[in-house]
Amino acid sequence: MKYITLSFDDGRKDFFTNALPVLKKYNLPATLNVITDFLGKNNLLNFASANYECITKDELFECADADVEIACHSANHTNDLNQIIKSIDYLQNNLKLTQGGGVDLLPQNRKFVSEI
């Protein structure tokens, strides 16, 4: 048997509008790596001249309620340890998301795990 992992980066709105309905329909697990400073904002992810809208806090909670694992990507899309800690703090203290039960507060870049 082979396994795959479905992991979605950045917390973009198109995850919520396109991927989440398919995940729900087929009861598929997934991880959403969220950039916490970008929640509910637009035009912050300028990749290849495309502007992306990010999901809102309410949509993030809806994803968590649909058994999507919420993971820390950092606060501002960098691999800076302080920004990763800021993101974890925001998920825990502002959104009241805690480790376990579908929340992975470890950073997407696992090289920092030993430092947290």
> Is residue 63 in a domain?
yes
> Is residue 2 in a domain?
no
CATH number, position 68: 3.20.20.370
Q: Which domain holds residue 37?
A: 7-111
Q: What is the mean pLDDT of residues 58-84?
A: 85
> Is residue 1 in a domain?
no
> Is residue 22 in a domain?
yes
pLDDT in tens, 2-50: 888 899 988 889 999 999 999 999 999 898 988 888 898 876 655 544 5
Count of domains for the chain: 1
Burial bucket for residue 110 (CB in 10 Å: 0-12, 13-18, 19+): exposed
pLDDT in tens, 78-102: 778 888 888 888 888 887 776 554 4
Q: What is the CA radius of gyration of the chain?
A: 14
Q: What angle is formed at CA 73 by the lines to CA 4 and CA 58, rounded to 5 degrees?
A: 95
Question: Would you state the pLDDT for residue 16?
Answer: 95
Of residues 58 and 84, the one with the higher pLDDT is: 58
Question: Would you state the pLDDT for residue 15?
Answer: 94
> Is residue 116 in a domain?
no
